[in-house]
């Protein structure tokens, strides 16, 4: 399926992008995590609209207190964007919204996911005994047959942030992982990121880039539920965005776990919005020529 992507990443990408915000952190609270990500999309929007020559608005979904109903609304919104030939950029909210976001592409081709994250987010999920949470989106996608385990890449995983049974699940299901100890050399990060993306492109019709902001050092992203002392830097994020926007099989990018009440001076909100800008507009954007 050569033309699986509904949006050809080019200089005209900004005309096809639709930004959707999922203002909900029920999934984070289900894990007794620090709340606040429900305010992330609004904080993102306030920073985003200040960028010059930026005519793209942020659509905030109206969500309630029932997760499954919320997921249905999110899936419908993303699916409609795909139906219109748009490129959804989604803002969370809890990382559990990776589930309806990616599910919206079901039936359109074989999906690959590159998850930039300190955590696997492969916790057990089995209703009604083990409810859905922000730590389970990829497990649920695999269990429901939407995502093949071998088409998931976990990039930036930190050992202290994941239980041993999750490493066992990853090994048993042959999920590809790139742990942080292999990425400490800054010269290797972007190189390995591209290699993993190309590996997914080779076997999938479409690739999603999921970015949990806790993958970045808290020097850049303190405003998350589970901040990390060590992690990616801002330049890493910008390089990822500028490169992914050029890839024909990319279909969507998502940013998750932005939590303004835990932030310092809007640092994380600004960083997240700037990463999205680098994805939408590239290295130079629409700056006037000299």
* β-pair type (206-212, 58-60): unpaired
Greatest alpha-carbon pair distance for the chain in Å reads 62
Residue keyed to tokens 């659509």: 59
**pLDDT value of position 128:** 73
**pLDDT value of position 61:** 97
| Nearest-angstrom CA–CA distance, 57 and 230 | 33
| Nearest-angstrom CA–CA distance, 166 and 62 | 33
The two three-digit tokens of residue 211, written as one number: 């970015």
CA angle 149, 153, 156 (to 5 degrees): 140
- Look at the domain 13-281 and name its fold: 3.40.800
Q: Is the pTM of this model over 0.85?
A: yes
What SS3 state is found at 184? Answer: coil
In 3D space, the residue among 37, 8, 5 whose CA is nearest the CA of residue 21 turns out to be 37
**pLDDT value of position 285:** 57
> What average pLDDT does the structure give for the chain?
93
pLDDT digit string, tens, across residues 76-94: 999 999 999 999 999 999 9
pLDDT digit string, tens, across residues 193-223: 999 999 999 999 999 999 999 999 999 999 9
């Amino acid at each position: 399926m050569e033309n699986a992507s509904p949006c050809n990443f080019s200089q005209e990408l900004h005309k096809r992008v639709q930004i959707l915000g999922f203002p909900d952190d029920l999934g984070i609270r289900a894990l007794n995590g620090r709340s606040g990500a429900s305010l992330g999309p609004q904080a993102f929007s306030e920073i985003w609209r200040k960028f010059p020559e930026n005519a793209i608005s942020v659509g905030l979904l109206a969500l309630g207190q029932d997760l499954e109903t919320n997921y249905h609304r999110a899936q419908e919104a993303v699916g409609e964007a795909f139906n219109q030939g748009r490129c959804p950029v989604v803002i969370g909210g809890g990382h559990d919204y990776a589930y309806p976001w990616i599910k919206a592409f079901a039936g359109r081709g074989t999906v690959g996911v590159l998850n930039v994250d300190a955590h696997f987010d492969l916790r057990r999920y089995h209703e009604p005994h083990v409810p859905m949470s922000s730590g389970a989106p990829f497990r649920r996608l695999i269990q429901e047959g939407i995502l093949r385990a071998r088409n998931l890449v976990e990039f930036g995983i930190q050992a202290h942030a994941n239980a041993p049974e999750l490493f066992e699940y990853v090994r048993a299901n042959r999920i590809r992982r790139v742990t942080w100890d292999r990425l400490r050399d800054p010269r290797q990060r972007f190189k390995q990121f591209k290699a993993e993306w190309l590996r997914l492109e080779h076997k999938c019709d479409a690739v999603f880039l999921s970015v949990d902001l806790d993958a970045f050092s808290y020097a850049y992203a303190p405003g998350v539920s589970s901040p990390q002392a060590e992690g990616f830097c801002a330049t890493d994020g910008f390089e990822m965005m500028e490169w992914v926007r050029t890839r024909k099989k990319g279909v969507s990018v998502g940013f998750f776990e932005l939590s303004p009440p835990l932030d310092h001076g809007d640092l994380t909100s600004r960083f997240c919005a700037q990463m999205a800008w680098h994805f939408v507009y590239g290295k130079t954007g629409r700056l006037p020529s000299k």
